[in-house]
Amino acid sequence: MPPAFLREFVVTVTIAAPRATEICAPLPVLGRDVSVPLVTGGEVTYAALDYAASAPALQRVWDDVAAYAPYYGSVHRGAGYLSQLSTDLFEQSRETVARFLGCRPDDQVVFTRSTTDSLNLLAAALPAGAQVFVFETEHHASLLPWQHRGADVTCLAAPRTPEQAVAALDVALHGAPKGPKLVCVTGASNVTGEIWPIRELAAAAHRHGARIVLDAAQLAPHHGVDVTALDVDWVAFSGHKLYAPFGSGVLAGRADWLRDAEPYLAGGGATRTVARGADGTLDVEWHTSAARHEAGSPNVIGAYAIASACRALSEAGLDALADREQQLLRRLRAGLAELPEVRVLSLFGDDAARVGVLSFVVKGWNSSHFAAALSAEHGIGVRDGLFCAHPLVRVLLDAEESAPGECGAPDSAPGETSLNAIRVSFGAGTPEEHITRFLAATRSLIRDGAAWRYHTEAGRCVPLKA
């Protein structure tokens, strides 16, 4: 039971009155009323459709953090009132995240900077000789850390059905030498939005004595993630995808590999004791808890923001939020299906389960040019490029491995075809009107072309100055 002052504080920061504009979406977000200038003149309310990169912060999260800010203090070992309050808040945030993820009693929740940081931490904690299995369809955050840390990595070809993914992993693990093995898989693709067969992949991994880590960066904001029910060993996600600002992330799961590994960072907070030995070296006893990998002063506000977002999503009802998102997704897909020039990218096919993430290309358009026109002429923010999933986008676009491409605009001029795509992504803070505007703008650009001239500047396609 938390102390009385903390109970009072928690009540204070969670009963903020709703705003009049909150009817536009189930969970109102910051920036929902921001106006942006149009290159053709005038202003329009910004339509944020780039949630997969960074979701806007929930108003609830911002209010919670603002209420806590005057009480900010250094955590752990502090004797002062604010330090004790901040410590309790930090550790309660850890418990909130554990409940949100359905963690097992012995699991650890480590606060990190992001999904990328979380998976690099786990890569650093791999036992000696560990083999790692990933599909080429992964985001770079879950594709690259293992090889970077010197692990033996098997990269599996992109499957074309969920069943094929499970079968391919089964075969790869069956033929693998004995020793520690780890499978890393995304929960939902950051390119196609398609949901992967996590439970079945976990079962395949465990049949062969392997462990599995779930990259839930794109899944957790849209869909319930239960570590116990999915039977995954670890899960990683980022706060900035989950409607929380401030650059925090989470790695949650089994404690043994984390406890046995050298600390991710060496420094204060990760140690129990440090003493100078008789031979002049330092004798260090490291923590065995999550603190082992949280050296330095932790990002208390970031951890609390994640916990606040977890509470807000849980209280709003993840199933209800997902149902509404699916309605928006059906409307988006139906609208794009009416445009023969549009090709929606998919790995598993039209019937695959998806979250609110969709990528496409438009015949005759450079994707960066199209995205720039959506922004400059219509006030709609989407993403273009390869989405830090280069091998996957190459597969989806039937491109050669040597084809040039990057996260952002390529060197090709507006109107030329290129190795990039356009991504639309949305979530709990998206009003229906934003989908309507996007479809109308897309139809207009395809029918009439851009109303302005564009060029490539510093790697980005931007409108020419008048």
Active site residues: 388
What would the two tokens of residue 132 be?
């790692």
Q: What phi, psi does 385 have (nearest 5°)?
A: 130, -145
Can you tell me which residue has the tokens 């496409």? Answer: 360
Residue 48's beta-bridge partner residues? Answer: 381
Please name the residues in contact with 237: beta carbons below 8 A apart, sequence gap of 6 or more: 115, 118, 215, 216, 217, 219, 220, 225, 249, 250
In degrees, rounded to 5, the angle at the alpha carbon of residue 287 between the alpha carbons of residues 282 and 293 is 100
| Distance (Å, whole) CA 411 – CA 131 | 38
User: How many residues belong to the chain?
Assistant: 466
3-state secondary structure of 359: strand
Can you tell me which residue has the tokens 């709703």? Answer: 18
List, as own/partner pairs, every contact residues 269-278 make where C-beta atoms lie below 8 angstroms and the sequence separation is at least 24, other chains included. Answer: 269/76, 269/294, 269/295, 269/296, 269/297, 269/298, 270/294, 270/295
Q: How far apart are the two ends of the chain, measured CA to CA in Å?
A: 63
Positive or negative torsion for Cα 14, 17, 23, 28: negative
3-state secondary structure of 409: coil
- In one letter, which amino acid is 57? A
CB 47 within 8 A of CB 381: yes
3-state secondary structure of 446: helix
